[in-house]
Structures are given as C-alpha cells and as structure tokens.
Amino acid sequence: MAEVTMAQALNEALRFSLSDDDRVLILGEDVGKLGGVFRITDKLQAEFGEQRVFDTPLAESAIAGVSLGLTQAGWRPVAEMQFEAFSYPALDQVISHIAKYRFRSAGTTEVPMVIRIPCGGGIGAAEHHSESPETYYAHTSGLKVVIPSTALDAFNLLVRAIRDPDPIIFFEPKSRYWSKESGDLVPDGLPIGAARVAREGQHCTLVAWGAMVARCLEVATAAAEDGVELEVLDLRSLVPLDLDALAASVQKTGRAVVVHEAPLTVGFGAEVVARIVEDSFDYLEAPVLRVTGYDMPYPPAKVEEHYLPSVDRIFHAVDRVLSH
C-alpha cells in the first residue's frame, strides 16, 4: 500500500494504458522529453518510444483534429492540453467534429480519444492557468466529461476513460496534483457515470467535483464538531451525470449546496440545481444554493483566495440552507 500523489497516479494510469493496449498514443505540447509541465507524462517517451509518446507543434486545434484523424486509423490518442485556457483554440474541432462524429455517422464509426485538461485554480498560477471551463464541454452533447478528486480515483478514471469508445474530456484538478493517497493502483473503482458519496451525512448534501470535494470535506469535518452531519457527493462524471445518486442523497437530506470554482452564471452548478428541482422538489426543505467563482475573468493569483469558494463561504451557504 504505497502512497501516491494524483500526479503520480495519472502518470501510472498512462503507463498502464500504454502497455495494456499498443494502440494507445500520447501527444501534446512538451509531453515528450520534458514529461509535461506537470510531469504527468514523465519518462513515458523514454519507455515507450517517440512514436507512442510525441511532442506536437504548438497548435491545439491541430492536436484535437489530428487526434480525431488518428482514431480513424485505429489509434486511441490521449491528447494533453497544457492548461485549460489553451484548450479554447481546439473548441471548434471538439464541438463541430469530435463530439458529433459518431452521431453523424449513424453510429458506424467511433472516436475513442481522451483529451486531458489540467484545470482549476488555487496554485498561484499566471493568468489563463487557473480556469474551470467544464461548462463549455458539459454542454457539448457527444462528449463525456469526467474529473477525479483523489489520486486513486484519478488512476481508475483515466484508465477507464482511455478504454472508453467515446470521446472523453478528462479534467485534472491542478491543486490536487500533489495530494497524496495510499492504496493500490488498480482500475477497479467505480465506472464512468457513477458518483461517489465521499462522506455520509443526513442534514445537508454538498455536491462537488474535482478540487472542491476536498474543500467540502473540510467543511463537513468542521461542521461535524457542531453536530451537523454534511453529506459530500463527489460527482466524478459531469456527463453522464449520476441522477440517481444525486436524487438519493438530496431526498435523504432534504437540503443541498453545490460548490464549484467556475463562474456562477451557467456554471455546472446550475445544472445540478435544476436536476435536483426536477427530481426531488417535494423533498426540498430549503432552496438549493450555489457557492462558486464570481462572474468575472479568473482574477490575479494574489486575490484568488477571495474568488474561490472558501470554507467560510460554503459554511455561510450551509447555514442559510439549514436555518431556512
């Protein structure tokens, strides 16, 4: 039972997949010798050669479009976008082709590819290096959108994503890259599409994904001291969304707060609220609230603590919900 960071777990998941299936390829900017700016592809080129793991020119639209082409030649590309904000030049290829390709072909061809995107803030990074663009992808039908919150789950989810026959946007919460967890790296965790109850509780449900799961667990631990039992639901997969798990938890607690880093307006939290209202309205004892980033561009690193959902802000929302 070794201790691994999420970064190591992701690196192992790629290593595992490269040896497990010789059709798997890794491409992106600086993924070769450098091993990626976060070292997620560390040593993989040395181990698997320059054809299985290769650097590309600096062009994200090409990285996405070429990956689609590779799938049509029978490969399973795992493309890395260096940072979330640099995935935007690829949005046209993702929205107009990758997400639609299977549909357009009446199911006669598949696009088994993964686009890895480090996301989120909280690491004091430069501009364009701390955003949370999950809404753009989750709203794009035809994509599956997953995001792990722990090291072991990162391993499991990435291995499953690479095996999946559909195009997957795989978000990696940067601020958790160095978070440790001990356990064995074996792809036997929950399947894509299943949420995980990270902590049980009966008074209120905190819904989160990625880095905000840990933040919610902090809140839950603190709340427990006041005898308030918060349930923390880690969505793991935004698309498909685990509607049953969401309904089950909220129907048990009757209250919910959604937490995410992305701006409020049409953040994925809005979808969570709408689903809760549709499926569990009669169980609700209070409005479902959202604690999110503000509706502004991601601010300079030195003020991000005031932008990201803090333990305080989450507490405030929980208080309002409980005292409703």
Partner 1 sequence: MPSKRDDTFRILAPDGTVDEKAKEGLDLKEEDLRQMFRFMVLARKVDLECTALQRQGELAVYPPLIGQEAAQIGSAYALGDEDFIFPSYREMGAAIVRGVDLVDYMHFHRGTWHGGVRDPVGARFAMISVPVGSQMLHAVGWAMGTKFDGKEACAITYFGDGATSQGDFHEACNFAGVFKAPVVFFCQNNHWAISVPIEKQTAAPIWKKAEAYGFPGVRVDGNDVLAVYKVTREATERARAEGIPTLIEAVTYRLGPHSTADDATRYRTKEEVDRWHELDPLERYRQFLEAEGVADQSFVLEVEAEAEDVAATVRAGIQGAPPPPVEDLFKWVYSDVPPHLARQRDEALGLLEEGEDG
Q: Which residues are catalytic?
A: 129
CB 284 within 8 A of CB 255: yes
Partner interacting with residue 75 (select from ligand TPP, a copy of itself, partner 1, none; CB below 5-8 Å by kind):
partner 1
Q: Write the single-letter amino acid at 184.
A: D
What is the spatial distance between Cα 307 and Cα 316, in angstroms, rounded to a whole number? Answer: 15
- 316 belongs to the binding site for a copy of itself (CB under 8 A): no
- 128 belongs to the binding site for a copy of itself (CB under 8 A): yes
Question: Considering the complex, what minimum distance in angstroms separates the CB of residue 283 from partner 1?
Answer: 19
**Residue ranges in 250-279 that form contacts with ligand TPP under rule CB under 6 A:** none
**Residue ranges in 217-246 that form contacts with a copy of itself under rule CB under 8 A:** 239, 241
CB 219 within 8 A of CB 183: no
What is the spatial distance between Cα 39 and Cα 43, in angstroms, rounded to a whole number? Answer: 9
- Specify the pairing of strand 168-173 against strand 144-146: parallel
- 289 belongs to the binding site for a copy of itself (CB under 8 A): yes
For a copy of itself, the closer of residues 20 and 295 by Cβ is 295
What is the spatial distance between Cα 215 and Cα 286, in angstroms, rounded to a whole number? Answer: 22
**Residue ranges in 81-100 that form contacts with ligand TPP under rule CB under 6 A:** 82, 86, 89
Partner interacting with residue 67 (select from a copy of itself, partner 1, ligand TPP, none; CB below 5-8 Å by kind):
partner 1
Q: Write the single-letter amino acid at 82.
A: Q
Name the one range near partner 1 by CB under 8 A: 84-92, 132-140, 154-162, 210-218.
84-92
Name the one range near partner 1 by CB under 8 A: 196-204, 211-219, 222-230, 239-247.
239-247
Question: Considering the complex, what minimum distance in angstroms separates the CB of residue 212 from partner 1?
Answer: 17
What is the spatial distance between Cα 2 and Cα 287, in angstroms, rounded to a whole number? Answer: 43
What is the spatial distance between Cα 117 and Cα 240, in angstroms, rounded to a whole number? Answer: 18
- 183 belongs to the binding site for ligand TPP (CB under 6 A): no
**Residue ranges in 258-277 that form contacts with a copy of itself under rule CB under 8 A:** 262-263, 265-271, 273-274, 277
- Select the residue whose beta carbon is closest to ligand TPP and give its number: 86
| Helices 268-280, 243-253: inter-axial angle, 10-degree rounding | 70
Where b means 16+ CB within 10 Å and e means fewer, 60-99 reads bebbbbebbebbeeebbbbbbbbbbbbbbebbebbbebbb
Partner interacting with residue 76 (select from partner 1, ligand TPP, a copy of itself, none; CB below 5-8 Å by kind):
none
Partner interacting with residue 290 (select from partner 1, ligand TPP, a copy of itself, none; CB below 5-8 Å by kind):
a copy of itself
Q: Can you list the alpha helix ranges (DSSP code H) found in 168-309?
A: 211-225, 243-253, 268-280, 304-307
Based on the number of CB atoms within 10 Å of its own CB, is 146 exposed (0-12), middle (13-18) or buried (19 or more)?
buried
Q: For ligand TPP, which residue of 2, 34, 58, 224 counts as binding (CB under 6 A)? A: 58
Partner interacting with residue 268 (select from ligand TPP, a copy of itself, partner 1, none; CB below 5-8 Å by kind):
a copy of itself
- Specify the pairing of strand 144-146 against strand 237-239: antiparallel
**Residue ranges in 150-179 that form contacts with a copy of itself under rule CB under 8 A:** none
Q: Total number of residues binding partner 1 (CB under 8 A)?
A: 81
Q: Which helix (H) or strand (E) holds 105?
A: none
Contact residues for ligand TPP, defined by CB under 6 A? 29, 58, 60, 82, 86, 89
